[in-house]
Amino acid sequence: MFQKKDLPSVLFLALLIFIIVLTLCQILVVHRHDQRGYHLSKNQQLAQRKKMYHEMIGNYNFKKYKNIAKIEVFRRRIKSVIIMLSEQNNGMNIANDNGDVSAVIPTVREDDSMTLCDRVPPKLVGEISVQTCDTACRLESRLAVESGGYWKPATCISRHRVLIVIPFRDRWRHLTILLHNLVGMLQRQQLEFRILVAEQFGNATFNKGRLMNAAFLEAKKRFRFHCVIFHDVDLVPENDRNLYSCPWQPTHLSVAVDEMHYRLKYELLVGGVLAITSEHFQLVNGYSNEYWGWGAEDDDMAYRILLSGLRIMRPSAVVARYRMLRHEKREPSAWSSRTRLLKSVNKRFQMDGLINVPYRLVFSKDKPLFMHMMVDVGLPKEHDS
């Protein structure tokens, strides 16, 4: 019969059975719960989750978190269409032989005795020490650029005809410094180029998008070029291996800026210096005309690029380095109007841009180092300024 000495083993057995039963119960419960979830419709599952969150953390803002999740998915998707060029070729963004690049090689050779310039310009020096020339730079005497800011190599046919557009108002010191540093670099890169400074007329709020669109259209009437580089006046390149040649996809060149500790601020950034072929610029319908004051017209452009099925390329941060010249920060435009515009870019971009930019060319003059266009881009509606 049952003896006292058996007590520990009986107790142990009972405990074992208890644990087994408990585990089985748990498995059963979890399984049933899964099954129940499986058979529920999507809406029922959503309602159930909401209820659960509500019980757990009170008033859970479901819509807000759903939106965050959506943004995250979008961010991941765009990550896959942004290309960071590899560190090959010293990090240089040399156009490759595939795809659209043949379109940027001049098909008509003006002079048969000349050959195309080398794909990799032979006289690059790499790092450039930025000249801030506080005592006036005597540029004209030093740089052999034709009046109106045009230049092409004398000994070979350039592979790229580049239009540099600098949106501008009231930053003459910066312009002098930029040109002083830029012209020599473009010459070493053996580019055929034209520098166009588009100045906004009057004192109304700045509208960079309209200025750049107007400059492109006016330049198209006058010159032949394969691509445009939109260039802030206060960003001075620090390395001539960052090539200003025509890219097969829109290329953001100002990757690493000293002011931002040489780090890219965010993945979608295309502001500062952007190179894009004329075809692509027309495909995305240029910049939006609706951004007044500081901010977001460049983000709008990034969306236009992606929505048009193009990609954003970037040279390596090793070469795409810039010094930012100091200036007072402009007042940001109203956050609400910026986000309203950015949210509607997919519906708006084909109707708002190059095709309907309102502007009047006040004058255009050849200066020793650039073509100067004064452009009236109109006034903001009251709530836009």
Contacting positions for Mn ion (CB under 5 A): 234
List Cα–Cα distances, 230 to 125, 165, 316, 338, 368, in angstroms: 24, 5, 19, 21, 20
From the CB of 199, what's the least distance to ligand UDP, in Å?
8
Q: Which alpha helices (DSSP H) does the chain contain, by range?
A: 7-39, 42-57, 62-79, 139-142, 172-188, 208-222, 278-283, 297-307, 335-343, 345-348
d(CA 52, CA 40): 15
Residue 193 vs 230, nearer CB to ligand UDP:
230
From the CB of 216, what's the least distance to Mn ion, in Å?
21
By three-state DSSP, how is residue 216 classified? Answer: helix
Site for ligand UDP in 78-137 (CB under 6 A): none
From the CB of 170, what's the least distance to Mn ion, in Å?
13
Question: DSSP code of 226?
Answer: S
The residue of the chain with the least Cβ separation from ligand UDP equals 232
171 binds ligand UDP (CB under 6 A): yes
- Applying CB under 6 A, the span of 23-31, 32-40, 58-66, 160-168 interacting with ligand UDP comes to 160-168
CB 230: neighbour CB atoms within 10 A? 27
Residue 243 vs 274, nearer CB to ligand UDP:
274
From the CB of 72, what's the least distance to Mn ion, in Å?
30
- Applying CB under 6 A, the span of 32-40, 75-83, 143-151, 165-173 interacting with ligand UDP comes to 165-173
From the CB of 48, what's the least distance to Mn ion, in Å?
51
**Which two tokens mark 68?**
């965050």
What x/- string results for residues 245 through 284 when contact with ligand UDP is judged by CB under 6 A? --------------------------x-------------
What x/- string results for residues 309 through 328 when contact with ligand UDP is judged by CB under 6 A? ------------------x-
d(CA 236, CA 242): 12
From the CB of 363, what's the least distance to ligand UDP, in Å?
18
From the CB of 337, what's the least distance to Mn ion, in Å?
21
170 binds ligand UDP (CB under 6 A): yes
Contacted entry of ligand UDP, Mn ion, none for residue 53, CB cut-off 5 to 8 Å set by kind: none
For every residue of 281-320, DSSP letters joined together read HHHTTSS-S---SBSSHHHHHHHHHHHTT--EEE--TTT-
* Interface residue with ligand UDP, options 218, 234, 240, 352 (CB under 6 A): 234
**Phi–psi pair at 116, nearest 5 degrees:** -65, 145
Q: Which alpha helices (DSSP H) does 227-296 contain, by range?
A: 278-283
Question: DSSP code of 146?
Answer: B
From the CB of 327, what's the least distance to Mn ion, in Å?
6
Angle between the N-to-C axes of helices 208-222 and 297-307, in degrees from 0 to 180, rounded to the nearest 10: 60
* Interface residue with ligand UDP, options 196, 219, 233, 236 (CB under 6 A): 233
Residue 63 vs 329, nearer CB to ligand UDP:
329
Contacted entry of ligand UDP, Mn ion, none for residue 315, CB cut-off 5 to 8 Å set by kind: none
Q: Which of 259, 271, 250, 235 is nearest to 314 (CA)?
A: 250
d(CA 51, CA 55): 6
d(CA 103, CA 93): 17
- Applying CB under 6 A, the span of 9-17, 115-123, 161-169, 217-225 interacting with ligand UDP comes to 161-169
d(CA 341, CA 352): 11
List Cα–Cα distances, 56 to 47, 52, 128, in angstroms: 14, 6, 59
d(CA 192, CA 160): 6
380 binds ligand UDP (CB under 6 A): no
From the CB of 234, what's the least distance to Mn ion, in Å?
4
What x/- string results for residues 198 through 217 when contact with ligand UDP is judged by CB under 6 A? --------x-x---------
CB 105: neighbour CB atoms within 10 A? 14
330 binds ligand UDP (CB under 6 A): yes
Task: Match 């007072």 to its residue by tokens.
Answer: 328
From the CB of 82, what's the least distance to ligand UDP, in Å?
20
Positions in the binding site for ligand UDP (CB under 6 A): 166-171, 206, 208, 232-234, 271, 294, 327, 330
